[in-house]
Amino acid sequence: MLFFVLTTGRCNLLCKYCGGSFPERLVPTRPTYDLLLLKELIESDSNPAVAFYGGEPLLQPKVVKEVMDRIDAKFLIQTNGTLFEGLEWEYWKRMDSILLSIDGTKETTDGYRGEGTYSKVVWAAEQLRKKGYSGDLIARMAVSEKTDIYRDVCHLAGLGLFDHIHWQLDVGWSDSWTDFEGWCARSYEPGILRLIDLWIRRLKRGEVMGLVPILGILKRLREPCTNPPCGAGVDSIAVMPNGDLRACPIAYDADWAFLGRIGETDLRELISKLRRCRITGECLACNHLKGCGGRCLYMNRERLWGQSGFKKICEVTKFTIDAIAEIQPEVEEALIRDDAIRQYLDYPKYNNSTEIVP
Ligand code: SF4
Ligand code: SF4
């Protein structure tokens, strides 16, 4: 089970697509429950992974350290990377995966996240490399209208710092778009085709580029996988700072996502309640369900862009899945030539909080 532990609802940035902190009344600035209850819950699972999340989790470094000192689990963190020095190396090095938020070039990243952010995140990634971080260092991009997906992904790959690059479209709740469909047709979809072409050319030379959507969707197409790909409603639980247990860390006020309270609801009950939070509706009859998995449980339940907006997101999702499905035969041929690449194609190895489908 993947446990998202939100150490705070506050963030030190004010990114354009997100708007910063959660409302403090609903998502407090620090955990208000006893960490012993968290230990009890997490250690009742046979194979737990803890993803520190927020807000910005490193606004509460003491909580991160206490959890890591007291709880036996695999650890990951999703951080904006600007508070790197707030956590000592001995904790960083124990993280199985580190997801640093960075959106591409300096212009793209600072344009969304604020001046100076890019340099801080790159510096953090360099420090991790210099110190010999041996886990999975993931560039986690948010993709919106300023993004040129081909240019921005290639830029991050060219830095030579990240093992993997993952992106999620800023869609479904954001009102920052002027022309989503136009941007998809002019920029994003051609960029996706160029990226897939680059990826397959490199694969033929024996190199597996760590592009999570390509690796993850290929894996979904060949193996049984969870719906949705992020595991919300299946194998992930969010522990909110107020002690609420929820099916998705974003759904802090949605009734359908509420599973119980820490200290009151045990893992067995949680797992049985998760069954009420499955992907529903048109996704179940969609011929892209295998690759897509319903994409996002939150979006499946909360149609903040309305039904027509949901369909527009589906169109770009289907385009991406179809383009990736087309290279499957070439991937199979590459595997026949060189079986050693299989270990790199098998990604993610477990639910490491990358949502797979952009
Ligand atoms: S493409 Fe749309 S309808 Fe189809 S499974 Fe994905 S989210 Fe659901
Ligand atoms: S992808 Fe959607 S359902 Fe999954 S964690 Fe993110 S917001 Fe929640």
For residue 339, how far is its CA from the centre of ligand 2 (angstroms)? 34
Does the C-beta of 227 come closer than 6 Å to ligand 1? no
The domain ranges of the chain are 2-345
Does the C-beta of 282 come closer than 6 Å to ligand 1? yes
- Helix (H) or strand (E) holding 261, with range, is strand 258-261
pLDDT digits (tens, 9 = 90+) for 96-149: 999 999 999 999 999 999 999 999 999 999 999 999 999 999 999 999 999 999
Amino acid 108: pLDDT: 98
> Which residue, 288, 282, 278, 280, is CA-closest to 236?
278
Does the C-beta of 355 come closer than 6 Å to ligand 2? yes
Atom of ligand 1 nearest to the CA of 283: 8
Amino acid 137: pLDDT: 98
Does the C-beta of 309 come closer than 6 Å to ligand 1? no
Does the C-beta of 102 come closer than 6 Å to ligand 2? no
Amino acid 155: pLDDT: 98
For residue 97, how far is its CA from the centre of ligand 1 (angstroms)? 28
pLDDT digits (tens, 9 = 90+) for 61-101: 999 999 999 999 999 999 999 999 999 999 999 999 999 99
Amino acid 173: pLDDT: 84
Decide: pTM greater than 0.95. Answer: yes
Q: Whose alpha carbon is nearest atom 8 of ligand 2?
A: 248
C-alpha count within 13 angstroms, C-beta hemisphere, residue 332: 7
For residue 354, how far is its CA from the centre of ligand 2 (angstroms)? 10
Atom of ligand 2 nearest to the CA of 295: 1
Which of 184, 227, 280, 282 should be mutated for ligand 1, with most atoms under 8 A from CB? 282
DSSP state string for 102-151: --SSHHHHHHHH-TTHHHHHHHHHHHHHHTT--SEEEEEEEE-TT--HHH
> Which residue, 13, 195, 9, 180, is CA-closest to 110?
13
Q: Whose alpha carbon is nearest atom 1 of ligand 1?
A: 314
Amino acid 17: pLDDT: 84
Burial 174-190 (b: 16+ CB within 10 A, else e): beebeebeebbeebbbe
Distance of CA 8 to the CA centre of its chain: 18
The values of phi and psi at residue 143, to 5°, are -115, 120
Amino acid 18: pLDDT: 83
The fold of the 2-345 domain, in CATH, is: TIM Barrel (3.20.20)
Does the C-beta of 289 come closer than 6 Å to ligand 1? yes
Residues in the chain, pLDDT under 50: none
**Cβ count within 10 A of residue 340:** 10
Distance of CA 16 to the CA centre of its chain: 18
Amino acid 176: pLDDT: 81
Atom of ligand 1 nearest to the CA of 310: 2
User: 39: which DSSP letter?
Assistant: H
Q: Which residues pair with 232 in a beta bridge?
A: 236
For residue 11, how far is its CA from the centre of ligand 2 (angstroms)? 18
Does the C-beta of 232 come closer than 6 Å to ligand 2? yes
Amino acid at 281: G
